Amino acid sequence: MPTILITGANKGLGLGFATRFAGEGWKVLTSCRNPAKATALQALAEKHKGKIRIDALDVLDHKAIEAYGRALQDEAIDVLLNNAGIIGKEPQDIGQTDYEDWDKIVKTNVFGTTKMCETFVGHVAKSERKLIVNLTSGTSSITRKTVGRMPGTKGEYHLYSPSKTMLNMVSRYLAWEYKPMGITVVVLGPGWVQTDMGGPEALFTIDQSMDRCVPLIKGFGLKDTGKFILFDGSEPPW
Ligand SMILES: NC(=O)c1ccc[n+]([C@@H]2O[C@H](COP(=O)([O-])OP(=O)(O)OC[C@H]3O[C@@H](n4cnc5c(N)ncnc54)[C@H](OP(=O)(O)O)[C@@H]3O)[C@@H](O)[C@H]2O)c1
C-alpha cells in the first residue's frame, strides 16, 4: 500500500486527509506540533493500529525538519502532502500591516513547506507515485485579485494570500527541478472549508473538500507537474 506524509495532521484538513487515506488502507505518516494534545489523531491511530505514525514537528524549525527526515530515512513516501499553514491574525487591512505576523506567515507557509520538500525529495524519489502536493489557496491567484475585501470575510488577507502566491511560484521551481527525477509537484486549493482557519461560514465541510481533493491527489501524475489546481479540478489563472 502507498505511503503519505501529512504535516499539521492534528485537526482541520490535515486530519481529514489522514482519516481518508488511512481509511483507504494507506500507510499514513503524520506530524503535528503537539502530539500529546492531538486526541483526534491519536484516536485515528488507535483505530488503524500500526498504519499511522505520529511525530512532533513544528515546520518553523528547520533543524527539526532535518531530524524528521533522518528519522524517516527508510521510508519511500509516495505522497508528501504539505498541509501545515497559518492565515495569521485579523484584520489584515492595508495601513495596519503587522509585519511580525507576516514574517511568521511566510516562514510557515513558504519556508516550512519548501524545507519539507528539500528534506523529503529523496524519500519521494524512491517511491512509486513520486508526488508532492503543497496546499495553496484560491485567493493566491494574482489574476483573480480584481476586488478589494472578499465578501463575507472579516478583512482583507493581504498577508496570507501573497504567502500562498509565493508558495505557488516556489512550487513551480521545484516542479521543473524535480521533473527529471520523475517527481510531480502540484499546488492544490482545497476550497473554502469549515476549519479553524476557514471559519464556520465556509462553503464546504471537511468531508466535502476531501470528496474532491482525495481522488484528485490519487490521480495526479507527471502530466500535472507545475500546475495550480483547485478542489474541483479546475486550473485557475496564476
Ligand atoms: N480552510 C480553508 O478554507 C483553506 C482554504 C485554502 C487553503 N487552506 C490551506 O489548507 C491548509 C490546512 O488548513 P486548515 O483549514 O485545516 O487550517 P487549521 O484548521 O487552522 O489547521 C492548520 C494546521 O496547520 C498546523 N500548523 C500551523 N503552523 C504550524 C507549524 N509551524 N508547524 C506545524 N504545523 C503547523 C496547525 O497546527 P496547530 O493545531 O498546532 O496550530 C494545524 O494542524 C493550510 O495550508 C491552509 O492555508 C485552507
pLDDT tens readout for residues 188-216: 999 999 999 999 999 999 999 999 999 99
Q: Point out the ligand 1 atom lying closest to the alpha carbon of residue 60.
A: 31
Mean pLDDT, rounded, of the chain: 95
Ligand 1 binding pocket mutation candidate from 17, 20, 33 (most atoms within 8 A of CB) = 33
CATH of the domain at 206: 3.40.50.720
Tell how far the Cα of 180 is from the centroid of ligand 1, in angstroms.
31
Is residue 236, in this structure, part of any structural domain at all? no
Task: Confirm whether 138 is domain-assigned.
Answer: yes
Task: Kindly report, residue by residue over 45-82, the tens digit of the pLDDT.
Answer: 999 999 999 999 999 999 999 999 999 999 999 999 99
What value, to the nearest 5°, has the Cα angle with vertex 205 and ends 220 and 224?
10
- From the CA of 198, how far away is ligand 1's center (Å)? 9
Residue type, 76: A
Ligand 1, residues 11, 39, 81, 197: which to mutate, most atoms within 8 A of Cβ? 197
237, part of any domain? no
Number of separate domains in the chain? 1
At 188, is the secondary structure helix, strand, or coil? strand
Residues having CB within 6 Å of any atom of ligand 1: 7-8, 10-14, 32-34, 57-60, 83-86, 108, 112, 135, 137, 189-190, 192-193, 195-198, 202
Decide which of 148 and 225 is more confident.
225
Domain-located, residue 238? no
Quote the CA–CA distance of 228 and 69 in Å, as a whole number.
26
Q: Is residue 217 within a helix (H) or strand (E), and if so which, with residue range?
A: helix 206-219
Q: CA-to-CA distance for 115 and 121, rounded, in angstroms? A: 10
Q: What is the pLDDT of residue 152?
A: 53
Q: Do the Cβ atoms of 187 and 227 come closer than 8 Å?
A: yes
- Mutating to test ligand 1, I would choose from 6, 195, 210 the residue with most ligand atoms within 8 A of its C-beta, which is 195
Averaged pLDDT for residues 91-117: 94
117 located within any domain: yes
Q: What is the grid cell recorded at 145?
A: 485579485
Counting residues of the chain whose pLDDT is more than 90, the rounded percentage is: 90
- Distance, in Å, from the CA atom of 171 to the CA atom of 55, rounded to the nearest integer, reads 25
* C-alpha to C-alpha distance for 190 and 179, rounded to whole angstroms: 24
Q: What ligand 1 atom has the least distance to the C-alpha of 191?
A: 5
154: confidence class by pLDDT, cuts 50, 70, 90: low
> Hey, whose CA ends up nearest to atom 47 of ligand 1?
85
Is 35 a domain residue? yes
188: closest CA among 147, 146, 132, 144?
132
**Distance between Cα 86 and ligand 1 center (Å):** 5
Calculate how far, in angstroms, residue 173's C-alpha sits from the geometric centre of ligand 1: 23
Domain with 145, as residue range(s), is 3-230
Atom of ligand 1 nearest to the CA of 13: 16
Instruction: Note the pLDDT of residue 149.
Output: 65
Residue 34 lies in a domain: yes
